């Protein structure tokens, strides 16, 4: 028989109590001193200390109170309680059940104070853009020929001399593919083109690239027409008879 003590349980204490209460001699040895024995569901029941003492001794001998024959349980109890009575050790009281501790929810972290908005530094006011100056073609003064051609000479009267002197012959103007434009028509065309430049000045000042390109083309056209405009000649102008 193994001397290793078996594990006691509520069921084994209950079986020993039932056997001892069924015997006349042993039932009289059960006192009112009790000890609490826990059930599997953590509840407990009060057993006489003699029942606890006999059950523990059975298990100290390596037997099992659950399977030990009834007659053997009675013989063991008779030897411990009647033949050799002695002080019955008081079983240690059961520890109180540990209170169920509810898991505390973690304390919410304090919300950080919202950062004060930092006022953005005001950007320096942009400098006003200077309006690009559109070059204007200064109209040629009356009676002055363009750079490519010169007007025919006019007789000039010299003070202190009688008669008139004829100027030296002037070389012919450069030949162009297109015909020359009459003076009146040329001036009208130049005036209209100059009006176009005036009209587009606000758009060029606002940074309109297309308007700027148009102004460049108009200036080229003004130069081209100005070179081809025939200036009036004093010899060919009709005179108005005196009335």
Rg, the chain, Cα only: 68
Between 33 and 184, residue with greater pLDDT: 33
For CA atoms 214, 216, 222, 224, the dihedral sign is negative
pLDDT above 70 (res 20):
yes
Burial of 227 (0-12, 13-18, 19+ CB in 10 A): middle
pLDDT tens for residues 73-118?
A: 999 989 888 887 777 776 654 555 555 666 666 677 767 666 666 6
Least confident of 130-134, 173-177, 202-206: 173-177
Looking at every residue in the chain, the average pLDDT score rounds to: 74
Residue 96 to residue 142: CA distance in whole angstroms: 128
pLDDT band at 1 (very low <50, low <70, confident <90, very high): very low
pLDDT band at 65 (very low <50, low <70, confident <90, very high): confident
Q: Are 40 and 52 in contact (CB under 8 A)?
A: no
- What's the mean pLDDT in 26-53? 88
Q: Are 48 and 33 in contact (CB under 8 A)?
A: yes
pLDDT above 60 (res 235):
no
pLDDT above 60 (res 3):
no
Residue with tokens 């102004």: 215
> Residue 187's pLDDT is what?
85
pLDDT band at 130 (very low <50, low <70, confident <90, very high): low
pLDDT above 60 (res 138):
no
Structure tokens at 125: 């006011």
Residues with Cβ within 8 Å of 35's Cβ and at least 6 positions away in sequence, in order, are 46, 47, 48, 49, 52, 90, 91, 93
């Amino acid at each position: 028989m193994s001397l290793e003590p078996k594990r006691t349980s509520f069921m084994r204490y209950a079986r020993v109590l039932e056997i001892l209460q069924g015997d006349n001699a042993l039932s009289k040895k059960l006192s009112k001193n009790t000890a609490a024995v826990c059930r599997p569901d953590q509840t407990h029941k009060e057993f006489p200390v003699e029942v606890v003492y006999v059950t523990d001794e059975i298990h100290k001998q390596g037997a099992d109170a659950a399977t030990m024959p009834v007659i053997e349980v009675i013989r063991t109890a008779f030897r411990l309680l009647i033949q050799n009575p002695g002080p019955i050790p008081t079983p240690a009281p059961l520890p109180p059940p540990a209170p169920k501790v509810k898991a505390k929810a973690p304390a919410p972290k304090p919300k950080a104070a919202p950062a004060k908005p930092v006022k953005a530094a005001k950007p320096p006011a942009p400098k006003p853009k200077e309006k690009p100056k559109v070059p204007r073609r200064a109209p040629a003064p009356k009676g002055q020929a363009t750079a490519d051609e010169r007007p025919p000479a006019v007789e000039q009267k010299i003070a202190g001399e009688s008669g008139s002197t004829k100027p030296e012959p002037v070389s012919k103007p450069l030949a162009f593919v297109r015909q020359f434009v009459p003076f009146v028509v040329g001036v009208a065309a130049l005036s209209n083109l100059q009006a176009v430049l005036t009209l587009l000045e606000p758009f060029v000042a606002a940074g309109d690239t297309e308007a700027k390109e148009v102004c460049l083309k108009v200036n080229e056209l003004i130069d081209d027409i100005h070179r081809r405009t025939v200036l009036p000649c004093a010899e060919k102008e009709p005179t108005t008879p005196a009335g």
